[in-house]
Structure formats: structure tokens, C-alpha cells
């Protein structure tokens, strides 16, 4: 990741960088530090691709609600691993189909650890490569639309964010895309008490992940 970032900073400093290599919570800060060191960092052009979390959340919710996955949209905020993944089920039209308590908790856990489910299904012989490719293609297509001038393009992405500055300088949330990359990072909508608990659990872990990436980049210039 470091060496690829160095090469990109040298030959394509204005490129829009879409990072999907795990652990995204740490690799995105690594790329940011490399670009900063090269003097070409532009936070509007660096994205951690978290579309897979949105796809999983939307697909799993549609299975409960009986809706079409393509018509089901669950914003997922926070980070891109384990408890840092915070699905905002309350923001989906079909979210009311989920019963509070055990069903909600099981669904959140499945969204957060869906990758483990795939590894088990493949008997340890692989991971979620196809769905990861789909996520990369979807986000890339959305960004290309925005770069070509289409308005109102919004995707969840892990970017340098003001939403929880100090607690987590990088944070995934719905982001408006435009011709220069990130155009706007709206504040989070009003969330439920359950989602607030998930967010409170997310932030300390996310901060550790970010610091780990930044420290690695500092120690391995």
C-alpha cells in the first residue's frame, strides 16, 4: 500500500484514490500520510470504499422486509470492520420491519461480520471477492458520474471527515460527490438510541485503527 501510494503521489498526484484493500480503517490513513509527505494530499480525492457494507446491510434487510434489494438502501457509517460498522437501519424505508431486541441485534451482527459468513461458506478457501468487486464497481461508477458533472450523486465512503474530528479524523458516512471528488459531507441524521450505542462503541476502535495506520506510515516512510 505504501509503495503504490508513493508511485501514485509521484506520477498521478491529482488522481482520485479509491482504497478497498483491508484494513481500510488503517490503509486510508496510510495513503493520506504518504500523500502528505509528498506534498500533494487532497482529502477530497481520497476514498475508502465501504460500499460492501451498504450492499450487505441493504440485502439482509430486504430479506426480512420482503423488499427488492435494489430498492432497499441502508446507510452505513463509521468504519469498515467489525464493531466500527454502524448500519443506520432507521434511515431505510423498510427499517421498521426489523423487530427490536434479538432480531435487531442478530441483523446488526450479521452486517458487521458478514465477511466471516462468506469465509465459512467457502470453508476457508477464500473471502468475499465477488461482492467486493461489485462494491468497487458501484462506487467507481458513481464517482465517474459525479466527475462528469452529474449532480446529486451520494455514496457512503470512508473519508477525512469533520463529523467526529478528534475522535475519528476519518469516518464513513453518506458523501456527496462532484467534479473535484468530495463536495459535501452532511451531518448525520437523527438516529435511534440503539444506533447511538453502536456509534459510541465504534468511535474508540476506529480511532485506534486510524492511529495504527498513521503510526505505521510514520515508522515506515
Number of continuous H segments (helices) and E segments (strands) in the chain = 7, 7
Q: What is the pLDDT of residues 42-91, one digit of tens each?
A: 999 999 999 999 999 999 999 999 999 999 999 999 999 999 999 999 99
Check: CB of residue 168 under 8 Å from CB of residue 158: no
Domains for the chain: give ranges and CATH numbers.
51-209 (3.90.110.10)
Cis bond before residue 203 (omega within 30° of 0): no
Is the pLDDT reported for residue 30 higher than 90?
yes
> Known catalytic residues?
80
Cα 24–Cα 25–Cα 29 angle in degrees, nearest 5: 95
pLDDT band at 127 (very low <50, low <70, confident <90, very high): confident
Q: Quick one: which of 89, 30, 53, 1 has its CA closest to 172?
A: 53
What's the confidence (pLDDT) of residue 114?
Answer: 85
Mean pLDDT of 142-151: 97
Is the pLDDT reported for residue 204 higher than 80?
yes
Give strand ranges (E) for 79-209.
Answer: 85-87, 153-160, 170-178, 181-184
Amino acid at each position: 500500500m505504501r509503495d503504490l501510494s508513493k508511485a501514485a503521489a509521484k506520477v498521478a498526484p491529482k488522481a482520485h484514490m479509491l482504497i478497498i484493500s483491508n484494513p481500510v480503517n488503517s490503509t486510508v490513513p496510510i495513503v493520506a500520510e504518504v500523500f502528505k509527505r509528498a506534498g500533494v494530499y487532497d482529502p477530497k480525492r481520497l476514498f475508502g470504499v465501504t460500499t460492501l457494507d451498504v450492499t450487505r446491510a441493504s440485502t439482509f434487510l430486504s430479506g426480512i422486509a420482503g423488499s427488492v434489494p435494489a430498492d432497499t438502501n441502508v446507510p452505513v457509517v463509521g468504519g469498515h470492520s467489525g464493531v466500527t460498522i454502524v448500519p443506520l437501519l432507521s434511515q431505510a424505508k423498510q427499517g421498521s420491519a426489523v423487530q427490536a431486541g434479538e432480531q435487531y441485534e442478530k441483523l446488526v451482527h450479521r452486517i458487521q461480520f458478514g465477511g466471516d459468513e462468506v469465509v465459512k461458506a467457502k470453508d476457508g478457501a477464500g473471502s468475499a471477492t465477488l461482492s467486493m468487486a461489485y462494491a468497487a464497481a458501484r462506487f467507481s461508477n458513481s464517482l465517474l458520474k459525479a466527475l462528469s458533472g452529474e449532480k446529486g450523486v451520494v455514496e457512503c465512503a470512508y473519508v477525512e471527515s469533520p463529523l467526529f474530528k478528534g475522535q475519528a479524523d476519518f469516518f464513513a458516512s453518506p458523501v456527496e460527490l462532484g467534479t473535484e471528488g468530495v463536495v459535501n459531507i452532511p451531518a448525520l441524521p437523527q438516529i435511534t438510541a440503539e444506533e447511538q450505542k453502536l456509534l459510541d462503541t465504534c468511535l474508540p476502535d476506529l480511532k485506534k485503527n486510524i492511529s495504527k495506520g498513521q503510526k505505521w506510515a510514520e515508522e515506515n516512510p
